[in-house]
Amino acid sequence: MSRFKLFGFIALITLAFGIALVGDALAGEKYKSRTAYYNTKWEQIEVGDQEGHVLAVGEGVGIVTLLEDGIPTTDGAVERTAGLYDLNLKTGTLSARGYSTVTDRDGDKTFSVWEGKMVGQPGKARGEGTFKYVGGTGKYQGIKGGGTWVSHRITPTQRYSDVQGEYELPQ
């Protein structure tokens, strides 16, 4: 094999390997998890424009369980979420926005912003929305990604949320 052909072959292999590495670096790790929450705070005030229309601020704390793949150290982590809610208690309509902090067993944290709305008929409605990572500490510093969530109410003070997400950690 001539030097030119050998050099071309090596260049081609290097290029293919480089593209594969860049592709892997840009592709996030996918995961599914469930968090069971208990509401720890809830304050609401009536708006007065419609019967049942209130604005509220609430906080919930829960435990994360990985259902499929994910950041292994978040299994059993504690999640604290705080949100602002615009809802009508009579019709079941709701829009919400807030922040979540997940703290793993080592004390490292991820921070995310979320938003969502209520979908479905009153009594059978569920919350749905999206989230995006906005930061982290320790091993999660520089985390990027986000995903979707679906929340189901169990009792007035308990709910669980199923999450499908994707994340990238800096190398």
Could you give the CA distance from residue 142 to residue 171 in angstroms, rounded to a whole number? Answer: 10
- What pLDDT sits at residue 122? 63
The domain segmentation of the chain, as residue ranges, is 28-168
Write out pLDDT tens, residues 50-80: 999 999 999 999 999 988 766 666 788 999 9
Query: What torsion, rounded to 10 degrees, do the Cα atoms 152, 156, 158, 159 define?
Result: 10
Q: Quick one: CATH architecture of 28-168?
A: Beta Barrel (2.40)
Digit-coded pLDDT (tens) for 120-171 = 766 677 899 999 999 999 999 999 999 999 999 888 889 999 999 999 998 7
For position 93, what pLDDT does the model report? 87
H or E element: which one contains 13?
A: helix 3-26
Convert the pLDDT of each residue in 71-119 to its tens digit: 666 788 999 999 999 999 888 889 999 999 999 999 999 999 999 998 8
